[in-house]
Structure 1
Amino acid sequence: MPDDIITSRLVLRLMSKAVVTSCIAGDFAEAERLLGATIPDDLLESSSSLRYNLRQMEKDPLYLPWSARAVILPEEQKMIGLIRFHSSPDPEELHAYARGAVEMGYRIFPAYQRNHYASEAVSALIDWAHHTHGIRYFVASISPANTPSLNLIHRFGFRRVGEAMDETDGIEYIFYLIIWLFEI
């Protein structure tokens, strides 16, 4: 599909409003038909992020390319996770960290964890945002108890810059990454 981000092992496929709406309604048959991949029940565990994603799509017409992407194993045409930006670039809530920043979130379903799929998806999404849209500032909010995610973002060079109370997830540490540009 034209909006796919393709890596060596994964396809990050944009989830249209119709796909997200079908998932929230529990109509996985329709969502799978529209997405072109099977969707495991694990997705229901992140229904709050899908609802948030849908609200963002309805509120901000520029959000769609930044919204949820299914992390798909192409050889199986199976969704193994979800990755997204929380908004289009430069939302007011990120101005304390940087103008033009985007915040990302991701989840790989339990059966597929520990295979470096999250690293590959995060790398591809950062690369897409930077090279396609010129984004240099990235934010991630992670629970202090989520050691695998904390380790992952440290490998990318994110640095802790604060903490916040998330109404859904509780306390989260806020991390920040700058993509440096060097001119020769």
Structure 2
Amino acid sequence: MKLETQRLLVMPCTEKTMEIAIEQSYDNGPEVSFFLAELKEKPYLLYWGSWFVIRKIDGMIIGDIGFKGIPNEEKVVEIGYGILESYCNNGYATEALKVLIQWAFATSKVDKVIAETVHDNFGSIRVLEKLGMRRSSLTEKMINWEASI
């Protein structure tokens, strides 16, 4: 399965897509490796964890996005994302997250998507605002966001 935008492919992290990441020496932190280990024990997490963001023009993995687990009983799921620094400020995060959020709502398993950012992560704040997410609450360190059907 893959999601597609004008410029990007968004593909779930699997052993096969991880091989591509290894070939490209992709490293954006430990989340993808942690997810793959967890996926082996909990196959139902496929699609509810890490997804790779791949540029169509050159097949490069430029980041990873995804969910922090399956939707809860209230049909709420949390998203997270990271685009490699050299690809930031090109609209890739917004484009990839938009298609992933649309997919989540289309599953009928999700009524609300949430996210969080630190107060001074202005790039991430812009992404969430462009997606139409609303600030739902503030803590001392974080801004909490949500989008509903």
User: Which interval holds the TM-score relative to the shorter structure?
Assistant: 0.7 to 0.9
More helix per residue:
1
Q: Does 1:118 align with 2:93?
A: yes
Distance in 2 separating the partners of 1:134 and 1:64: 14
Partner of 1:68: 50
Q: Does 1:172 align with 2:147?
A: no
Distance in 2 separating the partners of 1:82 and 1:141: 16
More strand per residue:
2
Of the two, which has the highest radius of gyration?
1
Percent identity of the aligned residues?
Answer: 25
Partner of 2:24: 39
- RMSD value, Cα: 2.4
Higher relative CO (CA 8 A, sep ≥ 6), structure 1 or 2? 2
Partner of 2:3: 5
Question: Which AA in structure 2 matches 1:126?
Answer: I
Provide structure 1 residue ranges, at least 5 long, that are not aligned to the other structure: 21-30, 92-98, 166-170, 180-184
Give the structure-2-normalised TM-score: 0.85
Give the structure-1-normalised TM-score: 0.71
Moved over 4 A (4+): 17-20
The 8 Å contact of residues 38 and 79 in structure 1, kept in 2 or not, is answered as no
The 8 Å contact of residues 14 and 36 in structure 2, kept in 1 or not, is answered as no
Partner of 1:83: 65
**How many corresponding residue pairs?**
149
Deviations 1:27-82 (A, max 9, x none): xxxx22xx6x95344x2x411x2244235425543211122111001221110111
Question: Which AA in structure 2 matches 1:69?
Answer: W
Distance in 1 separating the partners of 2:34 and 2:138: 21
